[in-house]
Amino acid sequence: MSTLKRSRRAVLLGTLAALALGATACGSSGSSSNPLGGGSTASSGSAASGGTGGSGGSGGTVVVGSANFPENVLLGSIYSQALKAKGVKVEEKFNIGSREVLYGQLQSGNLTVLPEYNGALLAYLDAKNTAVTTQDVNAALTKALPASLGILDSSPAEDKDSLSVTQDTADKYGLKSISDLAAKAGEFTIGGPPEFKSRREQQFKDVYGLTFKEWKPTADTTANALKDGSIQVGNVFTTDPKIVQYKLVALSDPKNVFGAQNITPLINKAGVDANATAALNAVSAKLDTAGLTGLMKRVSVDKEDPSAVAKDWLKANGLG
């Protein structure tokens, strides 16, 4: 995410940062990205076409776009290659820029498909909406989007805030969900962005009954602080590759303190036919958070080419 992504959410939707996700932001520089953050100007990425046969869009071509951070480029490549495997003619326009730019390009028909994050997209369209579950967020999105645009099936994969612990801490105290922290929170130090305490302390008390011993502003070093033991609980994004690197456990959030951020195809309806829709929905059915986090380790830590990583994932899941 760079300024977009890898100060890891230094700004979540540019000027809409505090509203978009309602949540905190900050991550490690090697992580995936900010769900379409930052209000930068567009810089068109490379274009490639492939496949034969048709699907909607100008000249029968589906134009797959992405924001300018590694995770979104990877997702765009997964979408693109999945479509090509079904005979759809595809053009790729990756690394374009922020949501403000991408959304306008989709509305104009210059782009056909984007990998989006449903909660952040809803915050962009309707900042006052309070939906938090996947079902409610998608229902609200369907109402908020103009008639020309739509969403396809959301994947289980989410790039969102979490409270994470080390595997050793999870095993020692039997921690699987945020609820399980109630008995030990008073002995634990929690870390996250500088603003994390002011935004979340009361919410954790009210919703989960958690009162932590201490709050530390660990910012981009949160995952490292978990690893070295200077904190016991940390605000780490769920697709941060350090979750895999450091064997961290992102605790489940059964009461939805952190709203849904499911990766979801956003489409210009005129450019996507039934064949393309089926291909994209098949990707969503297979993509989960743990799998995406593993892919992001290959991209951001191991420095593998996103296109090659996407190809491997599609082949392994019978989609390429």
Indicate the burial class of 110 (C-beta count within 10 angstroms; 0-12, 13-18, 19 or more): middle
Poorest-pLDDT segment among 27-31, 55-59, 65-69, 187-191: 27-31
Confidence band, pLDDT 50/70/90 cuts, at residue 40 = very low
At residue 153, the pLDDT reads: 98
pLDDT value, residue 47: 33
CA angle in degrees (0–180, nearest 5) for 67-308-41: 15
The C-alpha atoms of residue 218 and residue 36 are separated, in whole angstroms, by 23
Assess whether pLDDT exceeds 90 at residue 19: no
Helices assigned H by DSSP within the chain: 70-85, 99-108, 118-125, 134-144, 167-173, 196-208, 222-228, 242-245, 274-286, 289-296, 306-316
Tokens of 117: 């994050």
Per-residue pLDDT reduced to its tens digit, 158-176: 999 999 999 999 999 999 9
Helix-helix angle 70-85:274-286, to 10 degrees: 130
Task: Give the mean pLDDT of 30-39.
Answer: 49
Task: Render pLDDT for 256-310 as a digit per residue (tens, 0 to 9).
Answer: 999 999 999 999 999 999 999 999 999 999 999 999 999 999 999 999 999 999 9
Q: What is the Cα–Cα distance from 235 to 122, expressed in whole angstroms?
A: 22
pLDDT range class, residue 320, cuts 50, 70, 90? confident
Please say if the pLDDT value at position 21 is more than 50: no
Section 65-78 average pLDDT: 97
pLDDT digits (tens, 9 = 90+) for 231-263: 999 999 999 999 999 999 999 999 999 999 999
pTM for this structure?
0.82
DSSP string, 201-250: HHHHHHHH----SEEEE-GGGHHHHHHHTS-SEEE--TT-THHHHTTEEE
Q: At residue 266, what are phi and psi to the nearest 5 degrees?
A: -105, 130
Q: Has residue 97 got a pLDDT over 80?
A: yes
pLDDT at 192 over 70: yes
The residue type of 270 is: A
Task: Please name which of 33, 263, 239 lies closest in space to residue 155, comparing C-alpha atoms.
Answer: 263
pLDDT at 12 over 60: no
pLDDT at 70 over 80: yes
Structure tokens at 12: 């979540």
Q: Centre a 10 Å sphere on the Cβ of residue 287 and count the other Cβ atoms it contains.
A: 22
Q: Which of helix, strand or coil describes residue 29? A: coil
Tell me what pLDDT residue 15 has. 34
Tokens 């480029």 belong to 73
Give me the mean pLDDT over the 27-31 stretch.
36
Do residues 263 and 75 make contact, with C-beta atoms less than 8 angstroms apart? yes
User: What are the Cα distances from residue 84, in Å, to 51, 61, 62, 161, 212?
Assistant: 5, 11, 10, 33, 50
Pick from 9-13, 172-176, 309-313: least confident: 9-13
